[in-house]
Amino acid sequence: MRRPAPRTLQGQLTAGLVTLLALACLAVGSATALALRGFLIGRLDEQLAASGGRFAASLEHEADPDADNRSDTRGQAEDTFGARLLDDVVTQAAVVDDATDRPLVLTAGDRRALARIPVDEDGHSIHLSTSPGRYRMMAVRGDDQDILITGLPLHPVEETVHRLLVLEAALFGAALVTTGIAGALWVRVSLRPLRLVAAQATEVADLPLASGEVAMPGPLPHADPRTEVGRVGQAVNHMLGHVEDALVRRQAGEERLRHFAADASHELRTPVANIRGHAELALRHQGPVPSEIRHALERVDVESRRMTRLVDDLLLLARLDAGRPLEHEAVDLTLLILDATDDARAAGPRHHWFLDLPEEPVTVRGDAHRLQQAIGNLLANARNHTPPGTDVAITLTSDGTRACVDVSDNGPGIPEELQAEVFGRFVRGDHARSRNTGSTGLGLAIVQAVVTAHGGTVAVTSTPRHTTFRVSLPVRGVSHG
């Protein structure tokens, strides 16, 4: 399984530092091992050249048992190899063993390898089947037109190089571990300003910047412009200053707009009520009234009622925006949904209304009037934006921690481009139908404001033939006794 690469900048820098050091250690270790091996082999070649084939030449006399001269092993190291070739055929071969010579039985491969050694008085490495195996050989031409080969074993060189490699591996391993730990600490200290920038950016990202007053964190300290991290810190401080200024300006604008909406709505209530009263009084007149005048008065009454609902909705939203406290009492959601469904069934008799309620009452703490208004708005929304004959299902569930109210219908659904802003103010899916039903475009905005004021959430999922609005409210501090 492939090990994942480190994701953090600290991990990447530490891994890169250790990797570069490991490559440097590998290069140094390889170079020193090769240099040592070359030096030792050079010393072997010098020894071979100094011997001058003396041991190999002395082997010729061993073929004659009456000869006075024996093989000359003087000054020859143990395991020194000697061989004599005549017409590319090995006639004698022996190795120095305990200050004497020991004849060798060579295989055909060994003989061919010896015959291929060039007579250039240079060292050549070959492998023999006899112990110790690898030899450094040098061939010289003898006095009898024969070829004298002298060899020294390579295993001391290989053992020395192996010891060096083991020592280097231990030293370089310890150096890598030490450097990795020290490098990680050094990188951690060096990246501390960057971590402060990241922490502050995360803190800002977690702030509720969408609405309300926002307390921005203070500027980053130690923003040294001579360093890259310092320049990033200065840029972040500058950006936070702009963001804070923009948030202050936005909050001030929202406050002015909220006060304006509240004041305007409050001021409009009296003249709208007067207009509605005069229209109702004129319609109750007992004398003959021309049909055109009666129609106009009826339209004035209808529009004044609509204007009254709009003013009331705006005042409610202004109060909720201002954080006005709501009632905090036990509310039986089961009974509340039953009443709201009865009202919806009376207002939309051509829709099919279905209820799915738990056996035990579900109780939350809040403002019963506002919660009933929110549920009523959801049912009115389903009635107003679906054709007659649509099935509307109201489901109440609770897990002991949260209570969920789902209002589902099998109507045409909400356009995808409208779903993101469906809880906005004055948002209408069908302008003509909304105006015909007297919709102000504030119903779902009031639902969201009321639910949010109760610490809950509201969401919508919609596809053709299936739309669901889900209200989730916390169940806390409620006594069921």
Position 267 scores a pLDDT of 64
Q: Cα dist. 7→3, 4, 197 in Å?
A: 12, 8, 18
| Region of poorest pLDDT, from 62-76, 162-176, 315-329, 367-381 | 62-76
Average pLDDT, the chain: 80
Q: Residue 237: is its pLDDT beyond 80?
A: no
What confidence category does residue 212 fall into, taking pLDDT thresholds of 50, 70 and 90? low
Interior angle at CA 206, CA 201 and CA 212, nearest 5: 115
| Region of poorest pLDDT, from 234-243, 333-342, 352-361, 405-414 | 234-243
DSSP-derived letter for residue 52 is: T
pLDDT in tens, 280-304: 777 777 777 677 877 777 787 777 7
Position 67 scores a pLDDT of 46
Cα 98 to Cα 88: distance, rounded to the nearest angstrom: 29
Position 13 scores a pLDDT of 83
pLDDT in tens, 122-150: 889 888 887 677 889 999 888 778 888 88
| Region of poorest pLDDT, from 144-148, 265-269, 355-359, 444-448 | 265-269
Q: Residue 74: is its pLDDT beyond 70?
A: no
For the record, the structure tokens of 43 come out as 């010393």
- Structural domains for the chain: 12-159 (3.30.450), 207-324 (1.10.287), 329-474 (3.30.565.10)
Between the ranges 65-79, 180-194, 229-243, where is the mean pLDDT highest?
180-194
- Which residue would you say has higher pLDDT here, 253 or 360? 360
pLDDT in tens, 433-446: 445 555 667 888 88
Long-range pairs for 306-311: beta carbons < 8 A, 24 or more residues apart: 306/438, 306/440, 307/268, 307/272, 307/275, 308/269, 308/272, 308/273, 308/276, 309/438, 309/440, 310/440, 310/442, 311/265, 311/268, 311/269, 311/272
Position 459 scores a pLDDT of 92
What confidence category does residue 233 fall into, taking pLDDT thresholds of 50, 70 and 90? confident
Segment 184-190 shows an average pLDDT of 84
Between the ranges 60-64, 236-240, 253-257, where is the mean pLDDT highest?
236-240
Q: Residue 187: is its pLDDT beyond 50?
A: yes
Tell me how long the chain is.
481
Q: How many CA atoms are closer than 13 Å to the CA of 60, on its beta-carbon side?
A: 16
Cα 444 to Cα 450: distance, rounded to the nearest angstrom: 10
Q: Residue 477: is its pLDDT beyond 80?
A: no
Short-list 429, 371, 433, 432, CA closest to 405:
371
What confidence category does residue 71 fall into, taking pLDDT thresholds of 50, 70 and 90? low
Q: Residue 350: is its pLDDT beyond 90?
A: yes
Position 417 scores a pLDDT of 82
Cα 367 to Cα 386: distance, rounded to the nearest angstrom: 29
Strand stretches in 131-253, DSSP E? 134-141, 147-153
Q: Residue 254: is its pLDDT beyond 90?
A: no
Q: Residue 480: is its pLDDT beyond 70?
A: no
pLDDT in tens, 381-431: 999 889 999 999 999 999 888 999 999 999 898 888 888 888 877 776 654
Q: Residue 110: is its pLDDT beyond 70?
A: yes
